[in-house]
């Protein structure tokens, strides 16, 4: 098995931090500038309560968080279009919404990142929050969105 390179690890850390920031924004409505400042200066690369937060690609983190906020309406419509009949975004819990929003943003805006990489990275992020079933849900939903976003 090959070890991921530093750029891959920094982007993976940026994705996880972006999901955490989007979740916090959804919970507390923290203004975007304050949220970014908090993550830049107090979370990314820090050790909090014996948990070491990895160094992240800050520009990539910022792009995901700002991009999701800028295109939230479009992203939410794309997610809702792929949910099962009778399901709405409001039925999903906040961590799941944050994961799907970040993944959808990358699929529609970051054409420099291959579809397979986006999906597998957000499945990995889902593993940090959920069991296997939910990770499969992330995989299937982002794959369906990719078919629309990257055609």
CA 105 from chain centre, in angstroms, equals 8
pLDDT digits (tens, 9 = 90+) for 20-40: 999 999 999 999 999 999 998
**Residue 126 phi/psi, 5° resolution?**
-60, -35
Average pLDDT value over all residues in the chain: 90
Three-class secondary structure of residue 51 per DSSP: strand
Among the ranges given (4-13, 102-111, 112-121), the one the predictor scored with the smallest mean pLDDT: 4-13
Q: What angle do CA 27, 28, 33 make, to 5 degrees?
A: 120
Domains belonging to the chain, first-starting first, are: 6-150 (1.10.940.10)
> What pLDDT, on the 0 to 100 scale, is given for residue 50?
64
Among the ranges given (6-15, 61-70, 93-102), the one the predictor scored with the smallest mean pLDDT: 6-15
Q: Where are the beta strands (DSSP E) in the chain?
A: 47-48, 51-52
* 48 confidence band (pLDDT: 50, 70, 90): low
pLDDT digits (tens, 9 = 90+) for 110-132: 999 999 999 999 999 999 889 88
Q: What value does the mean pLDDT take over residues 1-22?
A: 83
pTM, two decimal places:
0.91
């Amino acid at each position: 098995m090959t070890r991921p390179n530093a750029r891959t690890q920094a982007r993976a850390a940026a994705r996880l931090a972006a999901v955490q920031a989007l979740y916090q924004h959804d919970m507390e409505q923290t203004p975007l500038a304050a949220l970014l400042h908090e993550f830049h200066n107090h979370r990314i690369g820090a050790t909090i309560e014996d948990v070491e937060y990895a160094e992240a690609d800050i520009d990539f983190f910022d792009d995901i968080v700002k991009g999701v906020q800028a295109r939230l309406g479009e992203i939410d419509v794309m997610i809702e279009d792929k949910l099962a009949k009778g399901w709405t975004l409001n039925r999903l819990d906040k961590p799941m919404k944050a994961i799907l929003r970040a993944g959808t943003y990358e699929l529609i805006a970051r054409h420099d990142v291959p579809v397979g990489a986006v999906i597998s990275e957000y499945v990995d992020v889902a593993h940090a929050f959920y069991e296997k079933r939910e990770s499969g849900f992330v995989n299937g939903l982002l794959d369906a969105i990719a078919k629309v976003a990257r055609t």
